[in-house]
Structure formats: C-alpha cells, structure tokens
Chains A and B, each alone.
Chain A
Amino acid sequence: MALQIPILKIEEFLIVSFQTELSDREIEELRESILEKIKEQSARGLIIDITALGVIDSFLARSLSSIASMANLLGAKTVVVGMQPAVALTLVELGLRIRWNLATALNLEKGLALLRKNLREEVTSLG
C-alpha cells in the first residue's frame, strides 16, 4: 500500500508532517520518497514536523538522523520541528545510545527561518 504522507514544497524547502505513528517499513518507504523528492526538486532544505507524535522510538530517532545525513549529501539541510516535551525527555534519557545530530526548531515558522538563515550564511561564506 502506498503511503499517504504528502511531501509539500515551499520556496526551496520540503515539508513532511508525521500525523500518525509509522511502522518501521513505512518509515523506510517514506525515507526513499523524501530523498527522491529532494533530488527531483533540488530542494535546499527539509523540514520534518513531528508535532503530532507523542512517542518516538529508537528506530524512528535513528531514521530521522540518517535521513538528515542523506539529505545533507543531496544538498538539503534538515530541521525537525514541533517535538513534544515528553518525546524530548525520552530521547535525552536514551541519549547515550542514539546519535542525534539534527537541527531542531520549536515550530514550522522558526524552522523555515532557520533554514533561510543557513542558506544565507552558506551563500555569503561561499561568495
């Protein structure tokens, strides 16, 4: 069954919003379609919205981390937005076992601002 998670585009960025908990298989499928879409749109940034998730298991945490690294190779910076306090606490407790190298922002708006800022800085540092 095909996944029903839309990948939206705004400016040069992609937005993916998790609305329900996904199975490990679905997460892998989603990862592939996100990466495809980044390449297809030559996106410069990816925002993953997890406001609706009350639980993040170690698999999803690792997957988010690897999606970020992969997207980075394709030229897109990743920001995770809208994490719930309980989720953050769990991840910190799991902290020793999971590599978490993702940028985070409080909400979509701030996530977008962060990506724009990164983009500007990159351009100035290169130029």
Chain B
Amino acid sequence: MKKLAKEKELTEELSGLLEEHASDLKKQWVKEMTEMGLLEKLTPVEIDQQSTAIYDTCVLTLKTGVYEAAKKYAREMARKGVLEAMTVEQIIMGMLKLRDVYGRFIFSKYQGDPEKLNEVLGIYEPVANRILSIVALAFVEEREKSIKEQQRAMLALSTPVLQIRDQILALPLIGTIDSARAAQIVEQLLNSIVATQASIVIIDITGVPVIDTAVANHLIKTIQAAKMLGADTIITGISPANAQTLVTLGVDLSMMTTRSTLRAGVKLADEMLRLEVVEKK
C-alpha cells in the first residue's frame, strides 16, 4: 500500500514536471528531430500541432496510467496517415527521440539523488516502452488490415465468368486454388450458369501453376455441381507437367472431359451444341 502511494506520488511529481517544462522539452524534441532530418516534409504548423498532440498524449498517459488515449491516437495516426509526409521509420525514430528527451530531462532533474532517480525511471520506463510498442503495433495492424482488404479484392477479381456464346461460359482460372477460393469459384460459376442458362462451361486452368489432389477434388466437385444444374463442363489447359502429376497421384479424372487448349475446348463445345462457325459468303 505504502509502495503504491509512493509510486502515485512520484508519478504525479514527474508528470507535473513534464507539464511544467512542456514548451522547453517540446522545443528540444522538435529541434533534435529537425537535426535528424525527420521533419523535412512537414510545415511548421503541422509540426507544432502534431508534436503538441503527441507530447500531451504521452504525459496524459503517464499521469493517468490509462493507455486508451495513446492507442486511439496511434491508430488514428496509422489510419489517416496524419503524418503522411513521414515514413514509419521516421515516426518510430521520432518517438524514440521523444523518449530520449524525457529520459535526459529526468536525469538532469534527479541526478543529485540516485535513489530517487532510480525510482522515477522505474515508473517512467515501462510507460515509455508501452507507448512505443502501441505506436509500432498500430502501424503493423493498419498494414495487415490493408493487406487483407487487398486479398479480398483480388479474390473477387480472380474468377471472372465469361459468356462466350449464348450457351457457353468460360472460366479462366489463374493462380493457386485453395479451399476458400475453390468454394468461391463454385458458387460464382453455379450462379452464372443459372443466370445465363448456359449449358456448357469451359474451365481453363492454364494459369494454375500446381494441380494436386486437393485442386483436382475441387475441380471434380465443381463439375459435379454444374452437372446437377444441367451444365456440362470441359477442362482445358492442363499442362504436360500437371498431367503427369495427376496420373502419378492416381486421381481419377475419367468423368472429366478435357481438351488441350481453350480453343479446342470452344470447338468441342460448339460441336456438342451442334453449332458451326462458317465464313460469310
């Protein structure tokens, strides 16, 4: 209890000191960052606003022991790119610099009393470390979020179902096929079949680098599902290497109709529909 009370007292003393010397310390901080060339692309107004905001948030966090404000600010900084003109490295360097400025200030204040200096540092350092980790994490999280969004967007773009004749759909597959993507492909294909009432689907897998048992199974399921709706499927573009793999793996593809190229597949589909492409006279 006594220890806690003492810590509280010291925390208040320290945050009081930091608030009192806020303008000096901030000036020192900005000066050092400028010397390091971290602020080159910011306007003086921006520098003033941001440094004040960061400084105040840090002191507030120290004072209250509540990290919510710091988290919120860091997230905002990462999301909106408040400091657009600065790279992540520069921002982290800037935050480290602020830590140094505080640290040196504390040293100079308490250097006459090593015991107290030790205690104050014991309070200050965990807070400073935590704030830094919050800032770094906010950027990592933001980046992960945008990567996920891009993946989703790519997934949506990656399976175009093209109608190449009244009754024929083509589905060129490009890239690796995992379960999530396979499920999406089947769904999209079945919906397109119903929407267009097409009776033949050509799946071209020229762009699929590796076809293993799992991919083959996905293909078989897709073919079966299309068959149940009443559409036949032709697979085209299996590379010689993939053909060897499939046979070696012992995958039973007897129910697949295959052709070497998309062109041959279209031709077969035309034959199945009894269509003929003739040159105009």
List the interface of chain A (C-beta within 8 A of B).
80-81, 83-85, 87-89, 91-93, 95, 100, 104-107, 110-111
Q: In the docked arrangement, what's the CA distance between A27 and B196, Å?
A: 31
Interface of B is mostly: helix
Q: In the docked arrangement, what's the CA distance between A55 and B44, Å?
A: 66
Residues in chain B near residue A95, CB distance under 8 A: 221, 224
Q: Does A92 lie within 8 Å of B228, measured CB to CB?
A: yes
Q: Does B228 lie within 8 Å of A83, measured CB to CB?
A: yes
Residues in chain A near residue B193, CB distance under 8 A: 85, 106
A91 CB to closest chain B CB, in angstroms? 6
The 8 Å CB contact of A89, one of B194, B198, B225, B230, is B225
- With known contacts A84-B194, A85-B191, A106–B228 Cβ distance under 8 A: no
Residues in chain B near residue A93, CB distance under 8 A: 221
Q: Does B229 lie within 8 Å of A89, measured CB to CB?
A: no
Would you call B97 an interface residue if the criterion is a C-beta within 8 Å of the partner chain's C-beta atoms?
Answer: no
Q: Does B190 lie within 8 Å of A88, measured CB to CB?
A: yes
Q: Does B228 lie within 8 Å of A88, measured CB to CB?
A: yes
B186 CB to closest chain A CB, in angstroms? 6
- With known contacts A92-B221, A106-B193, A106-B194, A85–B199 Cβ distance under 8 A: no
Would you call B84 an interface residue if the criterion is a C-beta within 8 Å of the partner chain's C-beta atoms?
Answer: no
Q: Does B230 lie within 8 Å of A85, measured CB to CB?
A: no
11 residue pairs bridging A and B, Cβ less than 8 Å apart: A85-B187, A85-B225, A87-B228, A88-B225, A88-B228, A92-B225, A92-B228, A95-B221, A95-B224, A104-B227, A106-B230
